[in-house]
Structure 1
């Protein structure tokens, strides 16, 4: 790799590699030491093609979710089986991994601007801006940039566009799928909201059992499935359909918390 070789977005790969290395080492303990990330399905990552793969996931924090994905993907590609042991896997990271993020989030400070260099495809949200509801047209340049990223590698998206659970899937994700016909891999995460602050930068609680489940590709008929059918498939695959929403009694909630705490004893051992 030439020292000044760039990706399609003009990012120098040598700089990108070092940013991922540094932040990878710094963030590793968030999933391996302070908290315990349980991974399922890493073998699916190893069987994927080099490009035109779209990961769809539920969303719990601004940055910790993506950081975990970069760790899991690179560890899986280096032969780790559902594990992040030995952070050496981050030394030569896969550099054509991108993630879709709101431009206002990635411009909100120096740290987000640095994070953006690791692979952000910054888009203008059509429904929300500066904490207020808006109604804007989709920028075609945003769609084109996502297509460019898919052509070059893997793209991560959070199709609800918010960290609030059980919000509707944005139809823009279905439009991307219909247009570019990527392999669509669902991911379901949990525990991040309990362990990190909303931005995912600060550790809020230690000893939390986090989960990261990679599922098999969604079976999509790109020509005949409607946008609504694709949206419904995504909702179910990332477990954000209303049918997954269960109202429990206080007694049931306390019991489930006790069970979780038993699993968190690794921190006290």
Structure 2
């Protein structure tokens, strides 16, 4: 790799590699130390094609969700099954992982700008800007950027476009799926909202059970399924369909609390 080789967005890969190493080393204990990230299904990562893969996930914080995925993806590619133990996997990270994020979020300070260089596809939200509701057209340059990223590698997107749970799926994700026909891999995360502040920078609580489940790629009929059908499939896949909203019995809550206590005092490997 040439020292100044660039990706399709003009980012120098040598710089990007070192940023991933540094950010990864600084954040590792957030997922294996202060808290313990429970991972399921990471073996799926190793069997994915090199390009045109779209990860869809529910969203709980601005930055911690994506950072955790970078850890899990690279650990899996280094033959660590459901584990991010030993951060040696960061030495040779996958450099063609991208994620979709709001442009105003990624330009709001030094840290967001660093994280943007690591792999952000920064787009203008069509429904909200500067804390206010808006209604504007999708910019074709944003769609082109996502297409470029899929052509080069993997893209992570949060189809609800917000960290608020059970909000509607934005149809733009379904349009991208129909148009570019990527391999669509669902991810379900939990515990990040309780562990971190909304931005995912400050640790709010320690010893919180965090989880990340990577599911088998969705089976999609790209030609015949409608946008609404794909949206519904996404809702179920990332467990954000209204049917997942249910009253949890008290005994189930108590059993989960007991399990969390056991996990809290579990001796790390």
Q: TM-score range by the shorter chain?
A: over 0.9
| CA distances 1:133-164 after superposition (whole Å, capped 9, x unpaired) | 11010001100100000000000000000000
TM-score (norm 2): 0.97
Are 2:98 and 1:98 aligned?
A: yes
Aligned counterpart, 2:259: 259
Counterpart-to-counterpart distance in 2, 1:78 and 1:84: 10
TM-score (norm 1): 0.97
Query: 1:121 aligns to what SS in structure 2?
Result: strand
Aligned counterpart, 2:46: 46
Aligned counterpart, 2:154: 154
Aligned counterpart, 1:55: 55
Aligned counterpart, 1:73: 73
Counterpart contact for 1:207–1:267, Cα < 8 Å: no
Aligned counterpart, 1:242: 242
Aligned counterpart, 1:211: 211
Counterpart-to-counterpart distance in 2, 1:224 and 1:251: 44
TM-aligned CA deviation for residue 267 of structure 1 = 6.8
Aligned counterpart, 1:192: 192
Counterpart-to-counterpart distance in 1, 2:185 and 2:249: 34
TM-aligned CA deviation for residue 209 of structure 1 = 1.0
| CA distances 1:168-203 after superposition (whole Å, capped 9, x unpaired) | 000000000011000000000001011111000011
Counterpart-to-counterpart distance in 1, 2:195 and 2:216: 27
Counterpart-to-counterpart distance in 2, 1:83 and 1:169: 30
Alignment CA distance shift 1:226-1:82 (3 Å): same
Aligned counterpart, 1:121: 121
Alignment CA distance shift 1:51-1:249 (3 Å): same
Aligned counterpart, 2:183: 183
| CA distances 1:100-142 after superposition (whole Å, capped 9, x unpaired) | 0000000111110011000000000000111111101000110
Counterpart-to-counterpart distance in 1, 2:203 and 2:25: 16
Counterpart contact for 1:207–1:266, Cα < 8 Å: no
Alignment CA distance shift 1:242-1:15 (3 Å): same
Counterpart-to-counterpart distance in 2, 1:129 and 1:87: 37
Q: CA RMSD in A?
A: 1.5
Counterpart-to-counterpart distance in 2, 1:204 and 1:97: 28
Alignment CA distance shift 1:252-1:39 (3 Å): closer
Counterpart-to-counterpart distance in 2, 1:195 and 1:266: 18
Are 2:104 and 1:112 aligned?
A: no
Query: 2:240 aligns to what SS in structure 1?
Result: coil
Aligned counterpart, 1:130: 130
TM-aligned CA deviation for residue 246 of structure 1 = 1.4
Give the length in aligned residue pairs.
Answer: 269
Counterpart-to-counterpart distance in 2, 1:263 and 1:92: 31
Query: 1:145 aligns to what SS in structure 2?
Result: helix
